[in-house]
Amino acid sequence: MATIFSYSFDEYVDLVKSFHGHVAPGVAIGGFMVDLAFKTLPAGIRFQALCETPKCLPDAVQLLTSCTAGNGRLKIVNFGRYALTLYENQAGKGVRVSVSPKKLEPWSEIQTWFYKRKPKKDQGFDLLMSQVRKAESTLFDVQKVRVAQSFTTTKRRGAFAICPRCHESYPADDGEICLGCKDEATYGTGKA
Amino acid sequence: MATIFSYSFDEYVDLVKSFHGHVAPGVAIGGFMVDLAFKTLPAGIRFQALCETPKCLPDAVQLLTSCTAGNGRLKIVNFGRYALTLYENQAGKGVRVSVSPKKLEPWSEIQTWFYKRKPKKDQGFDLLMSQVRKAESTLFDVQKVRVAQSFTTTKRRGAFAICPRCHESYPADDGEICLGCKDEATYGTGKA
């Protein structure tokens, strides 16, 4: 039976729906990826996560591990690759799990979805999900990797200052005004 | 009584602990911020969220709304400001809630924590949390804003290609090799 950590596939899919807002095949596949990466890591170590796409995969990590966007232990880079790494925090050694184009070949509907070969309305959602459930962890390659030091070191913030432009608090190291005020493209009509 | 959406403060703090891994004062304060922004938005609209810091605040958004890092409806920019905006997706009009340095003044322990004036071990955690609970939404400024178009438009991905270097799938628009292979700084020992 397909399981993802302690969950049955159906239980995990319910979690996905509740957190992600809908049953996203990418978060379902991501569940097997996180499960496989975790099983391949040495037991009992504290780890962080690196997702190589912001699409779907970060939510599988957040549902199944204690790495979240807000606690600093989930990093997201936009490489457009459906891959994630779980790694220990000292040397950055870890396990990278990625979707293998070769291993997708037996699964027609997963391929159709993964490569967006049909508009969403023409995809067979039930067939897709049943293939995801059956394929379990067979879709992936696993590699031992070491992430760069920038992903293992947390920069401690120094002193805070009040920005003379927006009058909000910001890290003084960022300069004479805050990065929000330096960036004029965020708020179309001006914030203040 | 302090409430955050349908939760009592204590219930919300339990959620924070479960998702974020520990009771982070920032996620607790963030809960009141999300609650206030949501109440100030027109009722019944579909919205997205923009956090101006990756620290803590994204987890309050993810716990209390259907905007997540993986479903594309939570955007995070690193401006170093403790502020978030909930906005509707057409014109990008929304409500920005930020911590007001002025309004922090009556709350000594929140100030100490917010400006990191003492090492964590010397901060009074219980006093801090009791001040957060009492202060509720009084710490914040609220503004009507309009976010830039880049935050309301979702770029549709085009065709996929197989990267000749890593042999993984990537958006063909990214160029002849994938962005992961272009970035040589991510994996210290090389990925392949």
Q: Answer whether residue A75 shows pLDDT above 90.
A: yes
**DSSP label at B121?**
G
B37 within 8 A of B74, measured Cβ to Cβ: no
Identify the weakest region by mean pLDDT among A45-54, A72-81, B146-155. Answer: B146-155
Query: pLDDT, tens digit, for every residue of A141-152?
Result: 999 999 999 999
The C-alpha atoms of residue B98 and residue B8 are separated, in whole angstroms, by: 22
Q: Please give the single-letter amino acid code of residue B128.
A: L
- Average pLDDT along chain B: 94
Which residue type occupies A114?
F
pLDDT of residue B101: 97
pTM of the model: 0.94
Please name the amino acid found at residue B42: P
Q: With beta carbons less than 8 A apart as the criterion, state whether A95 and A143 touch.
A: yes
The SS3 call for residue A145 is strand
pLDDT one-digit tens code per residue, B110-153: 999 999 998 888 889 999 999 999 999 999 999 999 999 999 98
| Interchain CB distance below 8 Å, B81 and A150 | no
Q: Between chains, do A79 and B55 touch, taking CB under 8 Å as contact?
A: no
C-alpha angle B15-B16-B22 in degrees, rounded to nearest 5: 125
Of the candidates B57, B79, B171, which has its C-beta nearest A70's C-beta?
B57
Tokens of B7: 């939760």
Residues A2, A10: contact at Cβ < 8 Å? no
User: Structural domains in chain A?
Assistant: 3-151 (3.30.1330.130), 155-192 (3.30.60.80)
pLDDT at B167: 96
Q: Is the ipTM of this complex over 0.90?
A: yes
| A19 closest CB neighbour out of B68, B80, B185 | B68
Is the model's pLDDT at B157 over the cut of 80? Answer: no
CB contact under 8 A, B169 and A55: no
Segment (H or E) for B187:
none
CB contact under 8 A, A80 and B56: no
Q: Is the pLDDT of residue A164 over 80?
A: yes
Q: How far apart are CA B57 and CA B75, in angstroms?
A: 11
* Distance from the B1 Cα atom to the nearest Cα atom in chain A, whole angstroms: 26
Determine whether the interchain pair B188/A149 forms a contact, defined as Cβ–Cβ distance below 8 Å.
Answer: yes
A contact test, residue of B16, B52, B155 with most A CBs within 10 A: B52
Sign of CA dihedral A76, A77, A82, A84: negative
Which of A169, A170, A183 should we substitute to test contact with B (largest number of B Cβ atoms within 10 Å)? A169
Asked if the model's pLDDT at residue A192 lies above 80, the reply is: no
CA–CA distance, B102 with A180 (Å, rounded to integer): 19
pLDDT band at B189 (very low <50, low <70, confident <90, very high): low
Q: Distance between the two ends of chain A, CA-based, in angstroms?
A: 56
Catalogue the E-assigned strands of chain B: 3-4, 7-8, 47-51, 74-76, 83-88, 93-99, 140-146, 160-162, 169-171
- Judged by average pLDDT, the poorest of A179-188, B31-40, B80-89 is A179-188
Phi and psi at A16, nearest 5°, equal -60, -45
Q: Which amino acid is at B40?
A: T
Note the pLDDT of residue A41. Answer: 96
Residue A10 exposed, middle or buried by CB count within 10 Å (0-12, 13-18, 19+) = exposed
Give residue-wise pLDDT tens across range B70-87: 999 999 999 999 999 999
B20 vs A contacts (CB less than 8 Å) = 66, 68, 70-71
- Token output for B103: 């309004």
Q: Are the Cβ atoms of A70 and B27 closer than 8 angstroms?
A: yes
* pLDDT at B184 (0 to 100): 80
Percent residues over pLDDT 70 in chain A = 98
A42-65 in b/e form (b: 16+ CB < 10 A) is eeeeebbbbbbbbbbbbbbbbbbb
**C-alpha to C-alpha distance for B57 and A46, rounded to whole angstroms:** 23
Check CB contact under 8 Å for B191 and A145: yes
Could you tell me which residue, B37 or B186, shows the higher pLDDT? B37
| B70, B80, B102 ranked by CB distance to A59: nearest | B70
DSSP letter at B186 equals S
Mind listing the pLDDT tens digit for each residue in A168-183?
A: 999 999 999 999 999 9
Query: Residue A29 above 90 pLDDT?
Result: yes
> Which of A115-119, B95-99, B110-114 has the least mean pLDDT?
A115-119
**Which residue among B71, B151, B162 places its CB closest to the CB of A21?**
B71
Which residue is associated with the tokens 């799938």?
B169
How many residues comprise chain B?
A: 192
Taking alpha carbons only, the member of A69, A70, A73 closest to residue A47 is A73
Backbone angles phi, psi at A117, to 5 degrees: -80, -15
- Residue A190 pLDDT more than 80? no
Taking CB atoms and an 8 Å cut-off, how many pairs form between chains A and B?
206
Flag whether pLDDT at B192 surpasses 60: no
Which two structure tokens, joined as six digits, stand for A51? Answer: 């997702």
pLDDT > 70 in chain B, percent: 98
Look at residue A28 in the predicted model and tell me its pLDDT: 98
Contact A111, B178 (CB under 8 A): no
Q: Measure CA of the first residue to CA of the last residue in chain B; give whole Å.
A: 56
Q: What is the pLDDT of residue B191?
A: 62
With beta carbons under 8 A apart, name residues in chain B contacting A187: 96, 145-148
